[in-house]
Structure formats: C-alpha cells, structure tokens
C-alpha cells in the first residue's frame, strides 16, 4: 500500500517531468482514438458500399489487358461476347442471382408512343434512326427480364404497379399509366408489336397487359423522342423475347445484357477466374461499377491509409520522445532507485512503484484521451461521411445511401487504445526497470556521488 | 558471538588493477562503538558498502549473526539488520525529511503504530524541528541532511549502525551531540556502531579505533 502512496506522491514531486510525459502520452492517445474512429468510419463507408454495390457485377472490357495487347503491336482483339456465354456464366456457384435483360426498340402501328414524332425538333441529333430508309422510327421499347424481382425502379419505388399485377407468365406485360391512357388500353388487352423494318416478313409479338404501372423515372438521354421516353417502356419476360426471337423472328432482334449478383463481394476474384475458364475472352472481365467504386471506396481507402500513416508516425515519434525523456531523467531515476534499494526495498517492489507511476499517468491520460475521442468522434465521422457524399454526388456518381454512421466510442476502440496505452506505460518505465535489474545498489549510487 | 564477522574480504573495482581491500578479517561485537580511520581513498566507503550489503566483495564472506550474507536476502539485511548513514546522505531529494523517514520505516516493515510521531521524535533527537521536517531535502543544508540521514538509519531500530563520516558537515556542538547519541546506542542499547571518520575528536568516543591502510584493517 505504501508503495502505491509513494508512487502517487512521487508523481507530484516530479511534476515538471510528469506533466511533459502526460502531455505526450495524452496527445498520442488522442490521435490514436481519433484515427481509430476515422478507421471505423471509413471501414463502414467501404462496407456499406460493398453491401450495396460490391456484389453487383458487370461484364466489361479489361482496359489493362487491352492496352497490353496494343503495346505489343497492332489492334487488341475484342470479340463480341455471345449471349450464350453470358447466360452460361449465370450458373456460377459464386452467384446469388443474375439479371438477364434484353432491349427491343420496336414499332407498333396500332399504338402511339408518347413523344412520338417529336424527333424532328431534335434533328441535330443524328443517331436517331428515324430518317433511315426502310425503317420506322420506334415508338416503344420492349424490355425482357428473367425476373421482375431485380427491377431497380420498382424496388426503389420510382415505378409502382397501380392496377393489375406484375407479369408472371410469358406473353404478359406491364405498361405505364400514361401509355395506357394515350392508347385507351386496359388490363387484359392484347397489343401487337413489330420490329422497325418496314417490310417485316414475320408476325408481330403479341403481349397481354397484366398490369399498369405509375412511372416517375426520367428521360435519361437528354433528347426527347419516343425511344427515350421511359413511359413507352413495355416490360415482359426474357423467356417471351427469347421464344419470339428463336421461333418467330428467326433472326437477331436484341443482345442480352447481364448483371450478376455475387453471394459475397469477396468472391469477385474467383468468379472472374471461373468466367475465363468457361470461355470469357481475356480482354473482358467481371467487375463492379468502377466509377462509383473509384468515387466512394478509393477516397475512403486513402483516407484510412493517411490516418494510419499519421497514427503510426505519431506513435513512433511519441515513443521516441518518451524514451528520450526517460533517458534524460535516468539520472534522477537511477539515484532514486539506488536510495530505495539501499534502504532495503526489494527489486520487485521498486519495479512495482515505477509501474504504478506509469499506470497512473497512463490511466489519467486514457480517461482524458478517450473522452476527447468520444466527444470528437461524431463530428469527425460526420465530416468524413459528408465529404465522401459531396465528392460522390458532385461527380454525378451513384448516390450511396449511407446511413448516418452512429459512432459512439466502440468497445473495440477502447480496448485497442488501452492496449496502446499499456505499451506506452511499459516503454516509459522500462528504462528505469532495466537499471534496477542489472546493478548492485552501491554501483547505482556511486555512479552519482 | 560476534554480530558481524568479516572473513578474507578482498575488493577490486571493475577495471582497476589493484585491490582496494586485501584479505580483511575482523569481528565486530554488540555493545561497542568502533571508529575506522584512514586516508582519503584508502577504501573506507568501499568497506562499509560491503559490510552493509550494498555491494558484494570480490572474494571473502560477511557473516551476520553467523549467517553468510550470500545465503540470505541482502534486502532484508539492509532493511532490518543494519542502519547506514551515508557519506553522501542518499536521501530522496524531492521528498520531505519526514517522508524519507516514514518511507524507510515502511520498507523495513516497522511495527510502530504511529510512524509519523515516531519519525518526528527521532528527528527531534537529531536536532531537526517540526518545520524543517516538512521541508524538501533539496531545500536543506548539508548538516541538516546529514542529521536526517542519521535519523533514518535509526528509524528501524537495527542492531548494527554504520556511519560514513556522520559528522563531517556538522559544527562542533552538533558533532558532540550526535556522537553522544551513537555512544549511547552502543553502550545502553547494545548496538554495534561502526563510524568512519577523519576526526580524532570523533575517535575519542570509540571503544576500539581501527585503521585502514594499504587495504588492511588493523587495531590502532
Ligand atoms: N566506482 C569506482 N570505480 C573505480 N574505482 C573506485 C570507485 N569508487 C571508488 N574507487 C576508488 O577506490 C578507492 C577507495 O575509494 P573509497 O571511496 O572507498 O575511499 P574512502 O576511503 O572512502 O575515501 P574518502 O575518505 O575520500 O571518502 C579510491 O582510490 C577510489 O578512487
Ligand atoms: Mg568515503
């Protein structure tokens, strides 16, 4: 007991030195706490990104492979990927599900599309096939999906079935309220849709309206036409389209696009490997949405990296200062230890006394440091999160629905910081302890006298 | 039976080429005050540090109540068996006089109930008043520090008291006073008191005067 009391008194006796030590340890612990908070926050950002987008995989060019090819002379070989391969890849064990979709811009002579005929006013845009000889301008677009469950607009509430139901069987479709109204369509009506060739030799696609949806999505293409107006979207099953192409049209009407959903974002590598083994050309790869990845995850990762480097430098510099300080104060320490030993205090008790001093200093710093950390955690995290979002939306990237990360000082942070504090305590007392363990008291004393 | 027995003690500092102490044999008894005289550098402090278990002899043995110091805890010996008054005081300079004494009593596991009062009484005996007792060692004169060192050596009531120039910094009257205390401890409380000194005046209190010359300890 007297050892503890003496340690406490000693802390006050050597106020000057101990205040400097305390300030250093305090700043180290505060930086540690703050940096861990930053880490937790960025980890959360990355995690929430991965949860929302990390398992959504697209087929895209592998730019690095293509550049390699070009560097090795000539043109890179970029063959078209067949629909068969795309669909075959959907059977991977790494996938939770796959969305297969086709787009079929088409023409129905009995129906009118919204904005139909308005293309003329955008005549400076040459891509619209309206003026082409032998073709109609499409007045609607048929979409075929293998499952209605993955339709984003419906999932996010931008589209909603207001009467009838979502298509379930082949040859069923849903149309928008505006489109239905324009054409006086009701549930159960059949519509005939053809391709845009004026001299079509095969019969039209026949669809039955199973549902009508409210649509609040916007024209994404920047010019007004029947093709780009989302109210003209007619949605049916992929099977319907497939059968129509294979059995009726007997010619290519569309290309398949696929979005693969991994069971776990970490399986991307394996999935890529498997895809290439199954015949995916080497200049293609499976990848997440690179753009939003770069906008969201990259900054978070680099922030985490910076804060890590910062933390490590603070810890290293702080430890060096602590060691220097304890070397500078070794004369005092040594004398004190010599006196205590001369009075008959056992080595173990002297060590205990020194450890108590460090531990008391550290505990006080720990309480203050963690409090500072706890108070600043939320503001710091908010600033980081806000920055990430600003950066993201200012680049026009996807808006990640980041839940406001509620950071109270986590249990883990407290433990981590405490472990670091303990290490600091050991560093700051080890020099003195080493002396005690090595010398006879007379040696320690006579060195000074 | 001798309370302290030196057997063939030799000592050589690391790196030195001659021995400071050569084959010293001597028996110290309770109830007696010894003084050891010798020129500066003759090895008096070295001898005391071996006797007090602060350092180990290069060769030879020290026996305390027939027990070889090598075989017992020298910490316990220092804390309980012996009281040392150092030439350089060796007090905790940032602590007060009173704290120094009480800490020493704590280390020695003193059974005194009111340690503070006991320490204050001791300090009074060596001429340190209450006000001075609460001052930090750093702020005390050499003579005051020396007397606190004496009080500390007595605080755990050891059987052996060793003093290295205990009156070196004291005026004549205080010296007489301190030597009376030490003599009284030897003669009336049956302690073994060993005092290193240059002073003939101090030696006049001795029951036996010893000389340390050329590494040998002899009666004068
Ligand atoms: N740590 C040391 N290392 C090497 N030599 C030392 C050491 N301490 C003392 N000496 C030498 O040992 C010899 C004896 O020293 P010691 O301190 O015992 O003398 P002393 O008799 O107490 O002298 P004084 O009367 O001046 O106090 C001296 O020559 C001294 O220089
Ligand atoms: Mg000396």
DSSP A248-288: II-S----EEEEEEESSGGGHHHHHHHHHHTT--TTEEEE-
Judgement on whether residues A305 and A239 belong to the same structural domain of the protein? no
Measured between beta carbons, the chain A residues lying within 8 angstroms of B103 are 2, 6, 343
- The alpha-carbon gap from B26 to the nearest alpha carbon of chain A, in Å, equals 22
Q: Are B163 and B195 in contact (CB under 8 A)?
A: yes
Tell whether the model's pLDDT for residue B212 goes beyond 90.
yes
Between residues B169 and B192, which one has the greater pLDDT?
Answer: B192
**In this predicted structure, what is the pLDDT of residue B155?**
94
Could you give the CA distance from residue B94 to residue B136 in angstroms, rounded to a whole number? 6
Could you give the CA distance from residue A210 to residue A357 in angstroms, rounded to a whole number? 79
Judgement on whether residues A214 and A310 belong to the same structural domain of the protein? no
User: Does residue A71 lie within any of the structural domains?
Assistant: no
What is the B151 CA–ligand 2 centroid distance (Å)? 20
Q: Mean pLDDT over residues B112-130, rounded?
A: 93
Judgement on whether residues A102 and A236 belong to the same structural domain of the protein? yes
Confidence tier at B84 by pLDDT (50, 70, 90):
very high
- For residue B156, what is the nearest residue in chain A, using CA coordinates? A343
- Determine whether the shortest distance from the Cβ of B36 to ligand 1 is under 6 A: no
What is the A141 CA–ligand 1 centroid distance (Å)? 106
CB pairs under 8 A between A and B: 63
Measured between beta carbons, the chain B residues lying within 8 angstroms of A342 are 54, 78, 84, 86, 90
Between residues B167 and A303, which one has the greater pLDDT?
Answer: B167
Domain boundary among A240, A260, A280: A260
- Smallest Cβ–Cβ distance between A343 and the set B56, B87, B107 belongs to B107
A177-210 pLDDT tens trace = 999 999 999 999 999 999 988 887 899 999 999 9
User: Does residue A87 lie within any of the structural domains?
Assistant: no
> How many structural domains comprise chain A?
2
Residues of chain A contacting B, Cβ within 8 Å: 2, 6, 9-10, 13-14, 335-336, 338-347, 349, 440-443, 445-446, 449
What is the B130 CA–ligand 1 centroid distance (Å)? 36
| Beta carbons of B107 and A344 less than 8 Å apart | yes
What is the B24 CA–ligand 1 centroid distance (Å)? 17
Judgement on whether residues A110 and A227 belong to the same structural domain of the protein? yes
User: Does residue A246 lie within any of the structural domains?
Assistant: yes
What is the B158 CA–ligand 1 centroid distance (Å)? 26
Output the furthest CA–CA distance in chain A (Å, rounded): 114
Mutate to test the pocket of ligand 1, among B10, B21, B36, B46 (most ligand atoms within 8 A of CB): B46
**In this predicted structure, what is the pLDDT of residue B65?**
94
**In this predicted structure, what is the pLDDT of residue A389?**
62
User: Does residue A284 lie within any of the structural domains?
Assistant: no
Judgement on whether residues A244 and A298 belong to the same structural domain of the protein? no
**In this predicted structure, what is the pLDDT of residue A432?**
67
**In this predicted structure, what is the pLDDT of residue A22?**
86
Give the residue from A3, A340, A343 with the most B CB atoms within 10 Å of its CB, the best one to mutate.
A343
- For residue B108, what is the nearest residue in chain A, using CA coordinates? A344
Least confident of A413-427, B62-76, B160-174: A413-427
What is the B16 CA–ligand 1 centroid distance (Å)? 11
User: Does residue A281 lie within any of the structural domains?
Assistant: no
Instruction: Return the ligand 1 atom nearest residue B212 CA.
Output: 21
Give the residue from B43, B47, B94 with the most A CB atoms within 10 Å of its CB, the best one to mutate.
B94
**In this predicted structure, what is the pLDDT of residue A448?**
54
Judgement on whether residues A342 and A433 belong to the same structural domain of the protein? yes
Could you give the CA distance from residue A350 to residue A6 in angstroms, rounded to a whole number? 11
User: Does residue A118 lie within any of the structural domains?
Assistant: yes
Q: Are B213 and B191 in contact (CB under 8 A)?
A: no
User: Does residue A70 lie within any of the structural domains?
Assistant: no
| Beta carbons of B88 and A342 less than 8 Å apart | no
Domain boundary among A237, A260, A283: A260
Judgement on whether residues A199 and A249 belong to the same structural domain of the protein? yes
SS3 category, A314: helix
Below-70 pLDDT ranges, chain A:
119-132, 290-291, 384-385, 388-410, 431-432, 435-436, 447-449
**In this predicted structure, what is the pLDDT of residue A337?**
87
A17 contacts: CB under 8 Å, gap ≥ 6: A325, A329, A332
User: Cα dihedral angle (A112, A115, A116, A122), rounded to 10 degrees?
Assistant: 180
Judgement on whether residues A320 and A240 belong to the same structural domain of the protein? no
Domain boundary among A210, A241, A260: A260
- Smallest Cβ–Cβ distance between A345 and the set B49, B56, B107 belongs to B107
| Main-chain phi, psi angles of B63, to 5 degrees | -115, 130
- Return the residue whose CA atom lies nearest to atom 10 of ligand 1: B13
Measured between beta carbons, the chain A residues lying within 8 angstroms of B107 are 340, 343-345, 349
Confidence tier at B138 by pLDDT (50, 70, 90):
very high
In Å, what is the CA distance from A152 to each residue of A46, A85, A94, A101, A212?
22, 24, 22, 12, 17
In terms of Cβ atoms closer than 10 Å to its own Cβ (0-12, 13-18, 19+), residue A345 is buried
| Beta carbons of A339 and B76 less than 8 Å apart | no
Give the residue from B92, B134, B136 with the most A CB atoms within 10 Å of its CB, the best one to mutate.
B92
**In this predicted structure, what is the pLDDT of residue A402?**
46
Question: How many CB atoms within 10 Å of residue A112?
Answer: 16
- Give the pTM: 0.66
**In this predicted structure, what is the pLDDT of residue A397?**
46
Judgement on whether residues A113 and A230 belong to the same structural domain of the protein? yes
Judgement on whether residues A102 and A250 belong to the same structural domain of the protein? yes
Q: Mean pLDDT over residues B65-80, rounded?
A: 92
**In this predicted structure, what is the pLDDT of residue A441?**
81
Judgement on whether residues A439 and A325 belong to the same structural domain of the protein? yes
User: Does residue A283 lie within any of the structural domains?
Assistant: no
What is the domain extent for residue A417? Answer: 2-53+293-448
| Beta carbons of A449 and B87 less than 8 Å apart | yes
Mutate to test the pocket of ligand 1, among B9, B10, B11, B13 (most ligand atoms within 8 A of CB): B13
Judgement on whether residues A41 and A180 belong to the same structural domain of the protein? no
Could you give the CA distance from residue A231 to residue B129 in angstroms, rounded to a whole number? 102
- The ligand whose atoms approach the alpha carbon of B163 most closely is 2
């Amino acid at each position: 007991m007297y050892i503890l009391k003496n340690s406490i008194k000693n802390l006050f006796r050597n106020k000057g030195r101990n205040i400097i030590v305390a300030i250093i340890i305090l700043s180290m612990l505060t930086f540690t706490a703050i940096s861990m908070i930053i880490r937790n926050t960025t980890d959360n950002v990355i995690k929430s990104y991965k949860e929302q987008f990390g398992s959504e995989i697209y087929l895209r060019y592998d730019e690095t492979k293509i550049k390699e090819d070009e560097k090795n002379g000539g043109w890179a070989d970029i063959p078209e990927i067949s629909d068969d391969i795309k669909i075959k890849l959907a059977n991977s064990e790494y996938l939770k599900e796959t969305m297969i979709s086709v787009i079929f811009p088409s023409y129905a002579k009995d129906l009118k599309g919204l904005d139909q005929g308005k293309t003329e006013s955008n005549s400076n845009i040459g891509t619209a096939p309206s003026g082409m000889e032998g073709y109609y301008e499409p007045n609607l677009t048929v979409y075929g999906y293998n499952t209605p469950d993955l339709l984003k607009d419906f999932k996010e509430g931008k589209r909603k079935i207001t009467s009838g139901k979502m298509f379930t069987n082949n040859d069923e479709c849903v149309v928008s309220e505006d489109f239905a109204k324009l054409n006086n369509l009701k549930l159960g009506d059949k519509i005939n849709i053809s391709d845009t060739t004026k001299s079509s030799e095969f019969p039209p696609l026949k669809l039955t309206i199973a549902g009508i949806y409210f649509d609040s999505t916007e024209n994404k293409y920047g010019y007004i036409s029947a093709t780009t107006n989302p109210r003209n979207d007619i949605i049916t099953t992929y099977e319907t389209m497939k059968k129509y192409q294979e059995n009726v049209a007997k010619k290519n009407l569309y290309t398949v696009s696929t979005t693969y959903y991994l069971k776990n974002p970490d399986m991307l590598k394996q999935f890529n490997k498997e895809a290439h083994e199954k015949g995916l050309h080497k200049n293609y790869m499976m990848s997440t949405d690179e753009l939003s990845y770069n906008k969201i995850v990259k900054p978070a990762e680099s922030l985490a990296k910076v804060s890590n480097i910062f933390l490590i430098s603070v810890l290293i510099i702080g430890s060096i200062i602590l060691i220097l300080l304890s070397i500078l104060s070794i004369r005092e320490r040594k004398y004190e230890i010599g006196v205590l030993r001369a009075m008959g205090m056992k080595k173990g008790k002297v060590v205990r006394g020194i450890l108590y001093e460090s531990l008391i200093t550290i505990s006080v710093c720990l309480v203050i440091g963690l409090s500072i950390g706890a108070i600043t955690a939320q503001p710091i995290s908010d600033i980081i999160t806000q920055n990430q979002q600003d950066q993201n939306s200012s680049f026009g990237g996807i808006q990640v629905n980041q839940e406001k990360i509620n950071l109270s000082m986590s249990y883990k942070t407290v433990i981590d910081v405490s472990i670091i504090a303990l290490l600091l305590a050991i560093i700051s007392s080890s020099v003195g302890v080493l002396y005690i363990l090595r010398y006879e008291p007379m040696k320690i004393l006579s060195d000074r006298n | 039976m001798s309370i302290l027995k030196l057997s063939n003690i030799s000592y050589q500092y690391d790196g030195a080429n001659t021995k400071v102490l050569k084959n010293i044999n001597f028996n110290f008894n309770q109830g007696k005050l010894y003084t050891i005289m010798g020129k500066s550098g003759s090895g008096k402090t070295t001898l005391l540090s071996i006797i007090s278990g602060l350092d180990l002899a290069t060769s030879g043995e020290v026996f305390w109540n027939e027990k070889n110091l090598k075989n017992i805890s020298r910490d316990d010996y220092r804390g309980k068996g012996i009281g040392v008054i150092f030439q350089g005081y060796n007090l905790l300079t940032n602590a007060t006089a009173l704290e120094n004494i009480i800490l020493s009593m704590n280390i020695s596991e003193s059974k005194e109930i009111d340690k503070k009062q006991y320490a204050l009484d001791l300090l009074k005996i060596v001429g340190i008043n209450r006000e001075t007792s609460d001052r930090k060692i750093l702020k005390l004169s050499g003579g005051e520090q020396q007397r606190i060192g004496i009080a500390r050596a007595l605080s755990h009531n050891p059987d052996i008291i060793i003093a290295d120039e205990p009156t070196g910094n004291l005026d004549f009257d205080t010296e007489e006073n301190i030597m009376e205390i030490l003599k009284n401890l030897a003669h009336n409380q049956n302690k073994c008191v060993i005092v290193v000194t240059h002073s003939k005046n101090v030696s006049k209190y001795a029951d036996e005067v010893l000389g340390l010359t050329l590494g040998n300890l002899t009666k004068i």
